[in-house]
Amino acid sequence: MGVAYFLQLSDLHRIPLSCVSISDDNSLLSFEVHDLNEKRNCRQTIKSFTVKSHANSQICPVTTFLAFRSRRPFCTTPTLFFNSVRPSDPFSSRVKCTDTKKLIRLSSNEPRLSLRSITSPLVLQSGIPKKDIVAMANWASSKTFEYHYRREHLSQFDFTNTLVCSSDDLNFFESNKDIFFDVLNTL
């Protein structure tokens, strides 16, 4: 899911399971997004993506897909992402969008904050050229990225430790209900 978060949420239900593959050496995960509404030269648009494996197997998209495929060998859903509560129902990008927005609201009070605005600057800082980020995000120009998504100051905020608490953290907060905690501004 972490890899797919860079895509538009509406693209998640447009990834046919039959178009997901792994290279022979298990180093690449490839998939296609089939957009029925977007057409070029009167033909359906198909966007191809290839994701490299990660050194940490716990967050590696290739390892995750291999585990998914081995645990659900007879999965009858036609798409990669599906409604896990009711597999016969279609996957709803609206539900995923709502869940994502709730998580983001827990970590920041900044208005109009999106997952793309958090991840896009981090991708740029990691060394990926801006033109590639603009192309992958399907933006009209790099100005869209500059005006709406370039927010390096947010990359200094610790989203992981704000959103994910261990049982020790929960016990600590429970025993100290009267203490006011504030986010330390490190900027």
User: Tens digit of pLDDT for each residue in 47-61?
Assistant: 888 888 888 888 888
CA distance 130 to 145: 9
Query: Looking at the 3D structure of the chain, how many domains does it have?
Result: 2
Q: Answer whether residue 20 is part of any domain.
A: yes
> Are 52 and 89 members of one domain?
yes
Of 100, 129, 160, which closes a domain?
100
Q: Is the dihedral of CA 88, 90, 95, 97 positive or negative?
A: positive
pLDDT digits 0-9 by tens, 32-42: 988 777 677 77
> Are 83 and 19 members of one domain?
yes
Of 71, 70, 92, 73, nearest in space to 81 by CA: 92
CA distance 48 to 21: 11
pTM score of the predicted model: 0.55
Of 100, 124, 156, which closes a domain?
100
Q: Answer whether residue 135 is part of any domain.
A: yes
> Are 95 and 114 members of one domain?
no
**Mean per-residue pLDDT for 91-118?**
73
pLDDT digits 0-9 by tens, 10-22: 787 888 888 999 9
Q: Answer whether residue 180 is part of any domain.
A: no
> Are 81 and 118 members of one domain?
no
Task: Look over the chain and give the mean of its residue pLDDT values, rounded to a whole number.
Answer: 72
Predicted confidence band of residue 113 (pLDDT cuts 50, 70, 90): confident
**Mean per-residue pLDDT for 135-146?**
76
CA distance 152 to 118: 8
Whole domain around residue 159: which residue ranges?
108-175
**Mean per-residue pLDDT for 137-152?**
70
What contacts 24+ positions apart, CB below 8 Å, involve 54-62? 59/2, 61/2, 61/3, 61/29, 62/22, 62/26, 62/27, 62/28, 62/29
